[in-house]
Chains A and B, each alone.
Chain A
Amino acid sequence: MTETGASSHRVAGTDKDVLVKVENLQKYFPVQTTSLFRRNHDQVHAVDGVTLEVRRGETLGLVGETGCGKSTLARCIARLCDVSAGRVIFDGRDITSLTPRQMRPLRREMQIIFQDPYGSLNPRRRVGSIIGDPFALHGIADGAERKRKVQEVMELVGLKPEHFNRFPAEFSGGQRQRIGVARALALRPKLIICDEPVSALDVSIQAQIINLLVDLQREFNLTYIFIAHDLSVVRHVSDRVAVMYLGKVAELAPAEDLYQVPRHPYSNALLSAVPVPDPKKSSDRHQIILIGDVPSPIDPPAGCRFHPRCPKAQERCATEEPALASVLGDSAEHVTACHFPVEKGEDLSNTSRVSVPPSGSQTT
């Protein structure tokens, strides 16, 4: 609760407060597609011109449909892959073109927690040595000293010291994710990227891990980039949230603003699609059901990328790409890339391009 207070007092944009700065970042993957007559060397525009910053001590949530570029953006920031164009600045330093070798000392300052607590842990290694990896990699602490440090971090994440010699298979999904958190936390990084950290867990266990992440953030003043497809979880943990669509940021705002006054038609659709665990509320809200699928990132639509599915699209949208800017009197903190942003209270569910379930269809 003090957390909320602190984050709202954070000053916008002064460089000292910014841990990560991403400028017009682009990441293309070459792909081969064979059409009837020739082989094309196309490119997937996984991240296509993203500009944003992550402030010290905050949690920036990243949401959007599968394939929209969330993980790729995160991997570029951590420089786990090369960047096609644009810049990544970490802690005041341009890391865009550092070699893996030059990146090495920086690795301890940024860590990633992955979705799959099963796949990301080597089953043949003991938990203690898995968590000890970062120490070994950076030549920090040896022998008994390392063991002590590992047990210290195990305790922080709620694992018992006697788990040190066990194998991952002996742990439940939630405990394995704790191992992932411990490994990420071991060297007290400045930035932790959480890529779907709770998606594979049951709800009751999800809540345990989320509380853990929030507690650790407070204790060690960590900065998080938090990727998840569960929008209510993102709302719970994030100070600010970026909504991505086809490699671009559609809207970026303080979490409460985004959830209360979403401006981009896509944000509106995304939020309205979330099932509400309360039958009294779910029967009388207006759900926007988008038609069609996300277009191919190999050949994204011209103009606004959302226009083929957008309930508010007009001619201009097909030709002119909207810039990210604050609209309809929103604060400078709340930016939207749309020519015709959604007014508060505007109902998109009865616009022509979307279909609406017949009212009362679920109550019999």
Chain B
Amino acid sequence: MALLEVSDLHVSFPTPDGVVRAVRGLSFAVETGKTLGIVGESGSGKSVSTQTIMGLTRGARVSGQALFEGIDLLAMSPKELRSVRGAKVGMIFQDPLSSLHPYYRVGWQIIEMIRNNHHEISKAKARERAVELLRLVGIPQPDRRVDDFPHQFSGGMRQRAMIAMAMSLNPKLLIADEPTTALDVTVQAQVLQVMRRLQEEFGTAIILITHDLGVVAEVADDVVVMYAGSTMEKADRYETFGAPHHPYTEGLLQSLPAYGGERERLRPIPGQPPSLINLPGGCPFHPRCPYVMDRCRAEMPPLFEVGGNPAHTSACWLSRDQVERAALRTKVVGQPLAAPAVP
């Protein structure tokens, strides 16, 4: 059984303009020691889905199931959920200042986190652990920096301190929502390396939410591609990047600059993502899809198995035979999907 198994999650927000249907029937599973990447454009429901699972969305209508170690998180009381957050599931957000308190020393915040959950640990021991964690995430001179305030840290250091805090209780699952989006590539590489190391050492399962396809390709074992609140495609990273089935996944990949060689025009996905209040009928991607058929406008496709691989599913009416699918691409787009080169 997977560590976390989410099935048929729906989340909607009643607003004065109408009901925002932020997540519509999302299902995924995360295994111990593995990283699941969730990608999609902004507004596709990535943050809402994980925040809902952790009981952090207010005023939302929620249905579905989120089994963590076999127990449904969505059926837990707020108090039970609080004991899961931090202790069993650590969270990292895009903006580290939103979870590091500006008035308290970084070390103190980690120590409090540890002591609140493990009353038997002495202050001195907790401090030792905090220094150790800061060292683990690559903060230089951790025994001194442990007494710094958050504003004395650089952006990258704050992000690493937040990882240290999220890891302080040795959680089984780490949810990282755009953890490196605000960082420079060099610092991003440091932070991703820290996450990878922690995973190796502690077997932590990670959900990595990002809109950066490069980051997903580097660190995710499995990938969920979301669009307008639904899963478009699910596969391991080699399939996702090497043999995508869904036209939206394909569109995302081919809109990246294909570096090297001649300066070609980019191939964007035309149009805009839909309004979540007035979703198009049928397949939500149909107004932007180059392969659209009559059926797509009328019927929402379920997730189908692609190429006889149960680990690869795609919510699309096109042929699930990968050879036929590739031939169709050549016919419609004019050329096979080229992989971008290493910069």
**Which of A's residues lie within 8 Å of B, judged by CB?**
1, 3-4, 65-66, 172, 174-175, 202-208, 210-211, 214, 229, 231-233, 235-236, 259, 269-282, 285, 287, 289-294, 355, 357-358, 361-362, 364
B242 at the interface (CB under 8 A from A): yes
B320 at the interface (CB under 8 A from A): no
**Which of B's residues lie within 8 Å of A, judged by CB?**
33-34, 41-42, 138, 140, 154-157, 184-190, 192-193, 196-197, 200, 211-219, 221, 237-238, 241-242, 251-253, 255-257, 259, 262-270, 272-273, 339-343
Which residues of chain A are near B140, meaning CB under 8 Å? 291-292
Whether the pair B342, A281 counts as a contact (CB closer than 8 A) is yes
Q: In the complex where A172-B272, A289-B190 touch, is A1 in contact with B200 (Cβ < 8 A)?
A: no
Which residues of chain A are near B200, meaning CB under 8 Å? 358, 361
Whether the pair A277, B253 counts as a contact (CB closer than 8 A) is yes
B180 to chain A, nearest CB (A): 9
Q: In the complex where A274-B185, A277-B241 touch, is A203 in contact with B256 (Cβ < 8 A)?
A: yes
Name 12 A/B residue pairs within 8 A (Cβ), A-sorted: A204-B255, A205-B268, A207-B256, A229-B184, A231-B185, A235-B257, A274-B185, A277-B256, A280-B339, A293-B154, A293-B156, A364-B33
- A-B residue pairs, 5 tightest by C-beta: A275-B214, A207-B268, A236-B257, A204-B269, A207-B266
Which residues of chain B are near A259, meaning CB under 8 Å? 259, 343
Shortest Cβ distance from B155 into A: residue: A66
Whether the pair A202, B215 counts as a contact (CB closer than 8 A) is no
B22 to chain A, nearest CB (A): 17
Which residues of chain A are near B263, meaning CB under 8 Å? 1, 3-4, 236
Which residues of chain A are near B340, meaning CB under 8 Å? 232, 276-278
Whether the pair B264, A273 counts as a contact (CB closer than 8 A) is no
Whether the pair A203, B190 counts as a contact (CB closer than 8 A) is no
Q: Kindly state the separation between the CA atoms of A200 and B286 in the bound complex, as whole angstroms.
A: 25
B198 to chain A, nearest CB (A): 11
Whether the pair B184, A1 counts as a contact (CB closer than 8 A) is no
Q: Which of B237, B255, B263 has most chain A Cβ within 10 Å?
A: B263
Shortest Cβ distance from A285 into B: residue: B342
Which residues of chain A are near B217, meaning CB under 8 Å? 275-279, 282
Whether the pair B255, A270 counts as a contact (CB closer than 8 A) is no
Q: In the complex where A231-B185, A236-B257 touch, is A278 in contact with B339 (Cβ < 8 A)?
A: yes
Q: Kindly state the separation between the CA atoms of A280 and B239 in the bound complex, as whole angstroms.
A: 11
Which residues of chain A are near B157, meaning CB under 8 Å? 293
Whether the pair A211, B265 counts as a contact (CB closer than 8 A) is yes
Whether the pair A275, B188 counts as a contact (CB closer than 8 A) is yes
Whether the pair A280, B213 counts as a contact (CB closer than 8 A) is no
Q: In the complex where A203-B255, A206-B255, A232-B343 touch, is A275 in contact with B215 (Cβ < 8 A)?
A: yes
Whether the pair B185, A287 counts as a contact (CB closer than 8 A) is no
Whether the pair A277, B213 counts as a contact (CB closer than 8 A) is yes
Whether the pair B218, A276 counts as a contact (CB closer than 8 A) is yes
Whether the pair A65, B268 counts as a contact (CB closer than 8 A) is no
Which residues of chain A are near B156, meaning CB under 8 Å? 293
Q: In the complex where A277-B241, A277-B256, A279-B218 touch, is A229 in contact with B185 (Cβ < 8 A)?
A: yes
Shortest Cβ distance from A235 into B: residue: B259
Shortest Cβ distance from B256 into A: residue: A277
